[in-house]
Structure 1
Amino acid sequence: MNAAEEILDVVDEHDRVVGRLPRGEVYARGLRHRCVFVLARDAEDRVFVHRRTATKLVFPSLYDMFVGGVVGAGESYDDAALREAEEELGVRGLPRPAPRLKFLYEDGGGRGSWWSAVYEVRCAVPVEPQAEEVAWHAFLPEREVEARLGVWEWVPDGLAAYERLREHRRAGGAPRR
């Protein structure tokens, strides 16, 4: 099955399921769905950063400091976070990502909105990202990621999730590991 045929839960403004449709139709109609964002750090506390491939359905060729993706129909956010992190990093046996916050992302660019659950995970093993998902990758110190925020073209939902995670930490939310 290709990505456009994957079945997603369509949700309302309160994150309640109101239907199920193929991903391609959800995207084409700008329907609200669910996504996970996982900030992966290596053993040296550096952040996994990557550039998406040109073939991605959403935000092709842009940089991202999260791995993640859509939550499948009937799948929990927690299960999707672990699945997506292992798939995109190309590893097995990651610890379960720790949930940090959830927010409703409004795209404003015609793609609609999606409930966004933000997680963090420690990845202490070498990564082998999926070639069809990741065109380039590196683990960067967080200060370097921050220095590139205004320089590189970042996926807008990932940038919004990163800024909310920083605000969450400043407000006394779960500390960085």
Structure 2
Amino acid sequence: MGELVERVDEQDQVLGVVDRAEAIRKGWLHRIATIVCLDEDGRFLVHRRPDDSSRFPGQYNWMLGGAADVGESYEQAAARELSEELGVHAAPRFVLKFLCKGAISPYWLGLHEVVIRAPVRPSVQEVAWHDWLTRPELEALVRQQEFVPDAREAFDRYGNLSRANRPLC
């Protein structure tokens, strides 16, 4: 068996433990934790996925993240993914959660944010290129075809919160 995740329902309640590949294949809901990284100047970390990545190869994203492990909270998963993908140890702050229809399969997306104050050491398995972009630069990139499709919906939802005068980080 491969990577195990918790299968959840439309209210994000656990139904059982399943193989993630099976959850994707059968369209079963599971949990994904993502992190939006900002620097001290408010710029967003944007990265391009490796060309040999199994999901969205060569595409750009403004979030890092992955599936929550069995028994792991969204916040714990976000902190683990941040460490694995950027080599940064921090406690990302929960921002929002929504049911994402997903380009590959549906899932619950828990979005977090963190201000990065140390150098990042991206994992070459997850990040082929990265840079810090201003909000206008990111807004232009999000609408391009080479951007991970699920990240567009998350960006729109995140932007709606920030326009409602929610303090970022």
What is the percentage of aligned positions where both structures have the same residue? 38
Distance in 2 (alpha carbons) for counterparts of 1:156 and 1:78 = 23
Residue 79 (1) aligns with residue 71 (2): no
* Deviation (angstroms), 1:159: 1.4
Unaligned regions of 5+ residues in structure 1, if any?
Answer: none
Distance change in 2, residues 1:152/1:90 (3 Å) = farther
Count of paired positions: 169
Structure 1 ranges of 4+ moved more than 2 A: 54-58, 149-152
Letter in 2 for 1:101: L
Residue 53 (1) aligns with residue 50 (2): yes
2:20 to 3, 18, 23: 23
Unaligned regions of 5+ residues in structure 2, if any?
Answer: none
Find the counterpart in structure 2 of residue 62 from structure 1.
Answer: 59
Distance in 1 (alpha carbons) for counterparts of 2:52 and 2:17 = 25
* Deviation (angstroms), 1:152: 5.0
- Cα RMSD after superposing both structures: 1.6
8 A Cα contact 1:63 1:152, kept in partner: no
TM-score, length basis structure 2: 0.92
TM-score, length basis structure 1: 0.88
Find the counterpart in structure 1 of residue 2 from structure 2.
Answer: 5
Deviations 1:75-111 (A, max 9, x none): 10010011111211122x32x111111100012x4x3
1:103 to 86, 98, 101: 98
Distance in 2 (alpha carbons) for counterparts of 1:127 and 1:101 = 24
Distance in 2 (alpha carbons) for counterparts of 1:26 and 1:149 = 27
Distance in 1 (alpha carbons) for counterparts of 2:7 and 2:67 = 11
